[in-house]
Structure 1
Amino acid sequence: MAQHAKITLPQLQAMKERGAKITMVTAYDYPSALLADRAGVEMILVGDSLGMVVLGYQSTVPVTMADMIHHTRAVMRANPAALVVADLPFLSYQVSVPEAVANAGRLIKEGGADAVKLEGGQAVVPAVQAIVAAGIPVMGHLGLTPQSAVQLGGFRVQGRDEAVAAKISADAAALVAAGAFSLVLECVPAELARRITAELPVPVIGIGAGPGCDGQVLVYHDLLGLFDRFRPKFVKQYARLGEATVAALEQYRDEVRQGRFPGEEQSFK
């Protein structure tokens, strides 16, 4: 059952401190946000993964600010109690610090988000500092960063060797020092994620990062079995709604063809 009061940053921090797990789910529209919030998750992410899951792109790179604002607005119309974080899309924060602040502000002012998320480590620290100084909460994202997946060698686990693991740890500390209220760790070895989570004072949310994080995030369509283009190892399907939906549509098709729908009860007199 959904929370009645809006989840706040201090509440999430308190959950970290007492060892309570945090749940985060992506949502890209009004109905998915409504259902996720009814389930009582603490955070909703309007991820730029919508480019692949909803818009049919091959990566997150083509997603625009207009896309993110449009989908964030739809999510916010559900009036979720969950804290809503919206992704800054590719090249909306890398070009310059002023542009990063302006685009983060758009997600808050025009989209209605509670916070923003961006990918990268020490290279984005100036942008994080400036966005936080403008009064906008920032969540970091390290490990597998989809916007730069080509540079990383594809969608693969990051941090298996010591040098990369050390860089991820250093980047995490730098982001927190810059003012990030939370971090996402994606596709990193479980032990590395556990160590970073223990070292950092802020909530660390994992996706493909093992059970040692402060919380977990999954894509709505992945966990419900609604997206089948690919299925990462870290995804657990809690339902197979895609299969059920196809079956329902096939039944509808058959009933129309056979003249069984609409029936008496669906007709007006």
Structure 2
Amino acid sequence: MTSLSLRREEARRARRARGHVTGPGPGRWAVLAALVVLAVVMLLPFAIVTLNALKSPAEYSSNGPLSLPRGFYLDGLVEFWNRVDFGRKLLNSFVISASVAVLAVVLSVLNAYALGVGRVRGRLWILVVFLMANTLPQEALAYPLYYLSKATGLYDTRLAVIIIFTVVQSAFGTYLLSAVLGEFPREIIEAAAMDGAGRWRVLWRIVVPISRPTLSVMMIFFFIWTWNEFFLPLIFLISNDNQTVPVSLGVLQGDKMMDATLSSASALLGIVPAVAFFLIFQRTLTRGVTVGAVK
């Protein structure tokens, strides 16, 4: 045997001696097969919606929802886009979701910094209040928020929805970040204080940069959660110019009108922006989940 073959054989024996598996075993293949099946089950509804969005109503009626389209019928997408002014709905959803994501993260950082690092009095009871706020259903908030927005003149404005969801999302963000910042290394903060750094400088120059992976994950989830909200925007945004994408999807449903291909086209247009946003920030999300907030 040549020297190269000897080295390969020795390396192979060393891996076996340490208990390494040279190839995928039955357990790994079973896990891989289960993940493939799960992925197919999750992607199947999206595939059916895409197929039906590209069919004509006559083709849908004759061949059913599971048949492949004979061509690319784009009239349903164009009709829905023009009927609900979908471009404006996209802009409204983006402005509201982006504003809520940024403001909720900032508010969560300020609250969690006081609770987790500052250790204010009554910290436990304050966290209980935030936890209870996360458990309240939106139906319980609709009545008081409606009259409050009416009294302040914010009803049927995007600002009202931004304020409401900023508070709602920051309640969860505060509860999560308080636990994270509660384990923040005190030595780093004490060293910064000895160097003359104040509380604000410690927050923005030390705590926020170290916690950036967690903050990035929170911002992505806040954006997607706000984008998919339907109940409260349906109540607070009654003007066509202020409505969001999920609300615009509801205009196609009624007792006397049900167009399957048009509904599929609307669902496809509503899904694509959120999926695109997720794919763009997928690496940030993965890095935030795996790295964690504090090392």
Q: Same fold (TM over 0.5)?
A: no
Whose strand fraction is larger, Structure 1's or Structure 2's? Answer: 1
Q: Larger relative contact order (C-alpha < 8 A, sep ≥ 6)?
A: 2
The structure with more helix, counted as a fraction of residues: 2
Rg bigger for which structure? 2
